[in-house]
Amino acid sequence: MNAIVYTSRTGFTKRYAQLLAKRTGVSAYSWKEAAERLPRGSEIFYMGWLMAGSVQGLGRAMDRYTVRGAAIVGISPAGNGDLWTEAKINGGVSDGGGRVFYLRGGYAPEKLGWFQRFLMRRMGASVIKKVEAKGSAATADEREMAALFRSGGDCVREEALEEIAVWFADGPHQGMVKAAPTVDL
């Protein structure tokens, strides 16, 4: 693997990329740094945050580099989005054979613009409503999710990178993440 390349809006994916770089010894670059320093076609591991089900920056990363694997960083505990659904069906591998992982980032409303904050508030409102309606029957996970939507929170855990670090050590890998499935909104 030549590099880890990431796209991060509020910093959670960036932290994961930096932790993974420290763990594996493979350099991590933001998209901008990669575009300046990393030759086209380089083999990369891509990390991108999830917005409305699609992995930000993955399309352009696939155009420029050979994406051997990818980590999707979202807020939902279980993972979501078309690429993740596709990979889960295939046992963690995309249709092109690239390995796909899911990591939980966090929610930092103070770092978002008003429109993205508005979208997240809308998404959060239904979760909060559901948890409130359940009252004491709500599970700990559901409560945690509602609290996250209410005031933000950080779910980045270094241990969550364990599986990815093992996969790095098992390389070199041949598969590629090729197509970024589109999501109907």
Ligand X SMILES: Cc1cc2nc3c(=O)[nH]c(=O)nc-3n(C[C@H](O)[C@H](O)[C@H](O)COP(=O)(O)O)c2cc1C
For residue 120, state whether it binds ligand X (rule: CB under 6 A): yes
Can you read off the two tokens belonging to residue 39?
Answer: 């030759």
Task: Tell me which of 18, 21, 23, 51 binds ligand X, using CB under 6 A.
Answer: 51
Residues 1-40 that bind ligand X (CB under 6 A): 8-14
For residue 45, state whether it binds ligand X (rule: CB under 6 A): no
Least CB distance to ligand X at residue 170 (A) = 26
Residue 133: Cβ-neighbour burial (10 angstroms; 0-12, 13-18, 19+): exposed
Judged by CB under 6 A, the stretch of 28-36, 73-81, 124-132, 164-172 that binds ligand X is 73-81
For residue 73, state whether it binds ligand X (rule: CB under 6 A): yes
Q: How far apart are CA 17 and CA 71, in angstroms?
A: 9
Can you read off the two tokens belonging to residue 29?
Answer: 């670059």
Task: Tell me which of 1, 5, 20, 50 binds ligand X, using CB under 6 A.
Answer: 50
String of DSSP letters for 16-55: HHHHHHHHH---EEEHHHHHHHSPTT-EEEEEEEEETTEE
Q: How far apart are CA 184 and CA 54, in angstroms?
A: 10
Task: Tell me which of 57, 69, 74, 98 binds ligand X, using CB under 6 A.
Answer: 74
Considering beta carbons, is residue 41 or 158 the nearer one to ligand X? 158
Least CB distance to ligand X at residue 114 (A) = 11
Considering beta carbons, is residue 59 or 175 the nearer one to ligand X? 59
Q: Which residues pair with 4 in a beta bridge?
A: 28, 45
- Closest by CA to 13, choosing from 38, 30, 35, 33, is 30
Contacts with ligand X, residue ranges (CB under 6 A): 8-14, 49-53, 73-76, 80, 105-107, 112, 116, 119-120
